[in-house]
Amino acid sequence: MKKIAFVVSVALSTGALFATAACTGGAPGTGSGDVKQDTSGQQEIRYMIGQPEDPADLELIKSDLKTFESKNQGITVKLDVIPSENVRTVLQTQLRSGQGPDVFGYDTGPGFAGALAKAGLVYDLTSAYAEHKWPIYDFAKKRVTFGGKIVGVPSQIEEVGVFYNKTLFAKYGIAQPTNLTELTAAAEKLKQNKVTPFAVSDKEGWQGGHLLSMSLSSAVGSKGMDDLLNGRTSWNTQPVVDSLAVWKQWNDKGLLTPSPAAVSYDNANALFYSGKAAMNPTGSWLALDIERNAKFDVGFIPFPAQNGAGIFSGGLGSGTFVSASTKKADASIKFLDYLLTAEHGRWAAEKLQDIPAYPIDTTGMKASPLFKQVLDDSAKIAGGTGDFGYNIDVLTTDVFNNAMWKGIQGILSDQAEPAKVAAQLQTAYEKSAK
């Protein structure tokens, strides 16, 4: 999964937010404080992350780790980079065996970090938050709190919407769409001119959750999403069916990449960078890669609603966690403390275009128009102003997410109908709530 999680304006109920599916197999890991600690003078911590989409980012991360080491003599960081699609399987296997990394990047929310917390596989950072006074936004802190324990450090604020090629739009006389009808008409005109309208991928599965998140958020608004996620509204309802049907209809019309369920995320992005596809429905984390790879001006808009501009699905991205079985808790917490300094936050914004989940001073910071837009929108998320939808999968369980991901893959491969998938989502929600 690429990154992401939820919104300031709504406090989800305990039942919806904390209902988690247990990790598959294995006994719970050793609880924080139960592991004999390594107190040697020289310590090496292992830090596991998913492979960045751009190799340039990996070099920046390595340089940043050297900076940390220079400021913390006696601690070195061994970077363990694995393919992003393998993170979940590899990480859970290692954590359950007690051989996991000391620190790792992972998705927030009940179906991800929440499942690890329920299994006792992540370190309780509640006292570290109090001791170091980490300035994480309250809404972000809630997304890594399970059973009354804070178990992670949120990494960045993000939003999901539609990137579009301004140059191609201008070439074919297409204005920025202000509603769903205009967006569909724009896509049809692009197809007539032999341009793939939408670079849609769903081979990995998680992308389907983002597709539904953006179309559904704009259809029902933040309150409607809150009602769905809290069980006040059934998933087996017409707005959900319609939001799924949009993608089926566009796929049937040939407005998406051919066979999107067989297209990888990287390949879809490459189609957009090359100008062969005019729009890319994904998250703001891609802004830096777009600036590096696209040779044209790019706009970023919410997925339009039927009768209006729509809203972004916005909120929190992934987080950084410490293994419950680490023997180097003090060194690991020092590393987290470094990641939460104001200086590091500004560095992340300038170099990686990450929006930290805590306040930073952006005075005089150079930013492209595209990234400035993301910065401004993210400030609204952090401040609780404006209307933002939700990225669904970081607020739901493994059971629900698997139903959603497989269901949307089925829709995009002509093996499932929207109404059937909506019914399956409600069944999965009810199962998760038990």
Paired residues of 158 in beta bridges: 315
Percent of the chain at pLDDT > 90 equals 70
What is the three-class DSSP state of 103? strand
CA-CA distance, 148 to 54, in Å (whole number)? 37
Q: Is the pLDDT of residue 20 over 80?
A: no
Helix boundaries (H) for 296-368: 329-339, 342-347
* pLDDT reported for residue 18: 31
* pLDDT reported for residue 293: 94
Q: How far is CA 66 from the centre of its chain?
A: 27
Give the pLDDT confidence of 45-91 residue by residue, as tens digits.
999 999 987 888 999 999 999 999 999 999 999 999 999 888 889 99
Orientation angle between helical segments 398-412 and 238-252, nearest 10 degrees = 40
What is the three-class DSSP state of 280? strand
How is residue 76 written in tokens? 């070195």
In the predicted model, what is the mean pLDDT of residues 355-371?
86
Say if CB 278 and CB 298 are below 8 A apart. no
Paired residues of 82 in beta bridges: 50
The structure's pTM equals 0.80
Residue type, 321: F
Q: What is the CA radius of gyration of the chain?
A: 21
Give the pLDDT confidence of 187-207 residue by residue, as tens digits.
999 999 999 999 999 999 999
**DSSP for residue 32:** T
Q: What are phi and psi of 175, to 5 degrees?
A: -85, 160
CA-CA distance, 289 to 274, in Å (whole number)? 13
| DSSP symbols for 109-163 | SIIIIIHHHHTT-B---HHHHHHHT----HHHHHTTEETTEE-EEE-BEEEEEEE
Say if CB 47 and CB 139 are below 8 A apart. no
| pLDDT confidence bin for 33, thresholds 50/70/90 | low
In this structure, of 140-149, 230-239, 342-351, 371-380, the range with the lowest mean pLDDT score is: 371-380
* pLDDT reported for residue 53: 78
CA-CA distance, 12 to 28, in Å (whole number)? 26
Strands 277-283 and 196-198: parallel
* Mean residue pLDDT across the chain: 89
Closest CA to 387 of 318, 315, 282: 315
CA-CA distance, 318 to 395, in Å (whole number)? 12
Say if CB 8 and CB 139 are below 8 A apart. yes
How is residue 34 written in tokens? 């139960």
Q: Is the pLDDT of residue 7 over 80?
A: no
